[in-house]
Structure 1
């Protein structure tokens, strides 16, 4: 989805919906709305503007993966990366961490844009009610997504749910984790009543995306309570939350046909397939297009994974001898795969043999092998665009993927026939046998978490899975010999927010 083509010539929107997180800006969003939200076209422009925050460099096209992948056993960074990257990787984050400050800013910009849609679009005259509901529902979905990211990253955060119209609204205290989740769930339940099941376009949410996100919200609450994860003592009953997670993930699996399971692993990540297929695994992505004019229209995210010191040619499917070759060029080598995740895969797991590039051909036609302990390491091909133009890529960042929700369903259902069927479907595609059929409830759910680690690697899920299962120390310290100094379950609130928001001070 090329968001920018809707925005050029609409500078009034940028002023009107300015960030409510950047406290150094004046007038902090205090713009008269009288000249806007007058036509259906204005409403459409506003929701497109709200979506356009997602593929920004500071959010899903780079920043989000820096925040969520570096602290885990999946990725480390190159040797000359910034101090903030090393803090995240080494789990010693501080309130002055620039990467945390960056993601905080983008998340609240997203909240502000969603609030503007929710507040103003209902009053647009001469607009069909169905169209109005759709756009407002998408605003609720986006606000819930941003707050879900905020609460999982930082815990107690300011709950900005009003459009800012005067300066006195700017200072706001933190809300409890419980209150943030109440808003997330209410927003998604409201969105479900407003949004159509029909797909609008790539990069926009429909009812299935709402149900998928709601299933993840309920699962996070359920497993956090079940494992006594810090901050979730308010959850009254884990079993009730598991039941809700199963209900909503079940809607995604059993009650719609727009999204589904892709049998071929490599096809899941082929931009020329998942962007055009009538049925796809990509329920909701931060969508980009290589024909865009600026970064955030297109993505440079693949460069973060590709080694910097060599140009490479790889087969489209390394398990098919006659497979077409792809010239994938080279990147920046910023993200380096850790041996912990690489060695966690069974040798014949197709998610390793097909989706992690460890062998390639150079420009000289010779074959080479990447060393997991070297500078240029094996890397994921999930973000490879075979038709990239220079640095311009159409590789979306997945936010909600069908296999993710299938594993949500398995975890929520537990060791039941339907729970086993869901996880075994994912395992079969990877070329693995069925899971042990005699597992108890907790052992089964632990097995699902491990399956998620392998299936969803490099997609920004692992940190949250470790946090909600209260296993940061067990996995990262005890299993992989890392040291956690700070930021295990919640990152520190950025110092800039504390300094400029007087109600945030202790």
Structure 2
């Protein structure tokens, strides 16, 4: 199933659902399955529909980055952005924040679609056991991903595990963080056992993706407990969770060869490379798009959020290579603006600054230099597509990549075993090794800082700050004042108003 067929299948399934009584997806997905889930084609269409939520504008093609990047030191927004953007940037979120309300809805829609796959595909006849297991495993993976995003963003939330067939099932009380994480862990272990290790089609999960996400979950639990992050007193043994994170990260690093380390930074973000079938690259799991799609969500406009708006731009493909070809990257909306604190935190020789942040460009033979203190600032070139068709772009949204897992291994393992992993990341960036003989705490702090540089603008920094109890220090260091929403965002007011079992 290529990406065009994948998107088309999702569209067909959505059409089938919308044509049946009581199937309107309000608020989370009321589903009538009596006339569906009969054949393998039905099962595949349902799975495609479950995946199709990821690259939607309100999720990984825009909304996710607004919510996870603006509250950090990485990005601020343009001056005429909406009120909700400013609330997030200034860490004073309210229950009526439209961006949070929007993502909340997408997360629960995603859970509803995954639940439908998990509940119904086991009863479909005429599918080989391997194919059936793969589809069900991907359903478990998707549900775990959505719940992991929910619990890290909002804390205690309703835990929905069944198909909603009637509106009376919608009201639901919150579950505890412990209950939510127990389900996430169970879902990912189910996914690991059911899915194949073979590299799946673009934008779909395999066993390695489940192992990688489980490593992220265990690290979040371990560090939240170790750093006394609010809400995580329920974790019994931080060191046990660090060991679990190390174990699962090691599976990704050592027990497979379908994903791997990319030696040249800019190649990680080369759409022509990472979308090539059979390539070994860093993209363990993405929200996949295709510029041949007919609507946003099938293609993406996410790069426009980062790109400057002054004029069309040309840049070297690889600034570290003097013979690198020049590529045209177009122009964007200048919505996301790099913050000076983050930009200035890099060493001047760090290739993640010199190669992955555009500080100058050429237009019609004239070189323009970007000033971090102006409106037209240096911007991330991670999200670009030189082959863009006007505003239709091919840039996938990275959800898990190999370097993330290397850094998870380093942090979880500690200095006794973690130096080689983090120093591999630093060597690619043109930097020397971390200082030797760091204490466990100092080493882990250094790895978290390395993650800030390596994974900048990819939606990880907020969660790294939250799990290491670092929001207040970040705010102090970068001139922010926290009013609300530092460690958990407020539950959207619409949910509180329509779900009588939700209590403040």
SS of the equivalent of 2:34 reads helix
Partners of 2:10 and 2:52 within 8 A in 1: no
> After the TM superposition, which residues 221-370 of structure 1 pair with which residues of structure 2 at under 5 Å, given as runs?
221-276=221-276, 278-363=279-364, 365-370=365-370
Any conservation in 2 of the 1:36–1:42 contact (CA below 8 Å)? Answer: yes
Mapped to 1, the partners of 2:445 and 2:352 lie a distance apart of 19
The structure-2 alpha-carbon separation of the partners of 1:48 and 1:36, relative to structure 1 and needing over 3 Å to count, comes to: same
Cα distance, 1:14 vs. partner?
4.7
Deviation digits for residues 353-407 of structure 1 (CA, Å, limit 9, x no counterpart): 10000011013x1111001011111001100111111111100000000000000
Pick from 1, 4, 7 the counterpart of residue 4 of structure 1.
7
For 1:280 and 1:163, locate their aligned partners in 2 and report how far apart those are by CA, in whole Å: 36
2:10, 2:46 within 8 Å by CA — same for their partners in 1?
no
SS in 2 for 1:398: strand
Query: Hey, what's the Cα distance between the residues in 2 that align with 1:423 and 1:136?
Result: 35
Q: What RMSD, in angstroms, separates the aligned Cα atoms of the two structures?
A: 1.3
Contact 1:13/1:46 (<8 A) preserved: no
Tell me, yes or no, if the aligned pair for 2:29 and 2:109 is still in contact at 8 Å.
Answer: no
Partner residue, 1:468: 467
Is the Cα contact below 8 Å between 2:266 and 2:355 reproduced in 1? yes
* Residue pairs, 1:390-409, within 5 angstroms: 390-409=390-409
Q: Cα distance, 1:15 vs. partner?
A: 5.8
What SS does the aligned partner of 1:492 have?
A: coil
- Judging changes above 3 Å, is the alpha-carbon distance between structure 1 residues 29 and 301 closer, same or farther for their aligned structure 2 residues? closer
Which whole-Å CA distance do the structure 1 matches of 2:65 and 2:167 have between them?
33
Specify the SS of the correspondent of 2:482.
coil
Q: Secondary structure at the match of 1:446?
A: helix
Counterpart of 1:46 in 2: which secondary structure? helix
**2:109 corresponding residue in structure 1:** 109
Q: Does the CA contact (< 8 Å) of 1:19 and 1:113 recur in 2?
A: no
Q: Does 1:452 align with 2:438?
A: no
Cα distance in 1 for residues equivalent to 2:323 and 2:355: 14
| TM-fit CA distance, 1:448 | 0.2
The reply to whether residue 429 of structure 1 matches residue 433 of structure 2 is no
What's the CA shift for 1:8? 3.9
Contact conserved, 2:17 with 2:31, CA < 8 A, in 1?
no
The answer to whether the Cα contact below 8 Å between 1:355 and 1:380 also exists between their aligned partners in 2 is yes
* Cα deviation, residue 291, structure 1: 1.1
1:69-114 CA-to-partner distances (Å, cap 9, x unmatched) read 0000000000000000000000000000000000000000000000
**8 Å CA contact retained: 1:68, 1:462:** yes
Unaligned 5+ residue runs, structure 1?
A: none
Equivalent positions of 1:100-139 (< 5 A) are: 100-139=100-139
Structure 2: gaps (5+ residues): none
Classify 1:215/1:244 alpha carbon distance in 2 versus 1 (closer, same or farther; 3 Å). Answer: same
State the 1:251 CA deviation. Answer: 0.1
Q: Are the equivalent residues in 1 in contact too, given 2:224–2:469 (CA < 8 A)?
A: yes
Q: How far does the alpha carbon of each residue in 1:256-296 deviate from its partner, in whole angstroms, 9 at most, with x for none?
A: 00000000001000101111152010000000111111111
Contact 2:31-2:164 within 8 A present in 1 as well: no
Query: 1:500 matched to which residue of 2?
Result: 498
Equivalent position SS for 1:34: coil
TM-aligned CA deviation for residue 505 of structure 1 = 3.4
1:481 aligns with 2:482: no
Q: Distance in 2 between matches of 1:162 and 1:60?
A: 24
Normalised to the residue count of structure 2, the TM-score between the two structures is: 0.97
Mapped partners of 1:453, 1:32: distance in 2? 45
Residue correspondences, number: 498
Structure 2 Cα separation of the partners of residues 430 and 35 of structure 1: 54
CA distance in 2, matches of 1:265, 1:343: 20
d(CA) in 2 for partners of 1:31 and 1:421?
49
Judge which range, 277-286 or 59-68, deviates more: 277-286
Deviation, structure 1 residue 321: 2.1
Whether the aligned pair in 1 keeps the contact of 2:154 and 2:490 (CA below 8 Å) is yes
For residues 304 and 265 of structure 1, what CA distance do their matches in structure 2 show?
A: 21
Displacement of 1:196 after TM fit? 0.6
Q: Is the 8 A contact 2:29 2:113 kept in 1?
A: no
**Aligned counterparts of 1:458 and 1:289: Cα–Cα separation in 2:** 21
Tell whether the 8 Å contact from 2:153 to 2:488 is kept in structure 1 after alignment.
yes
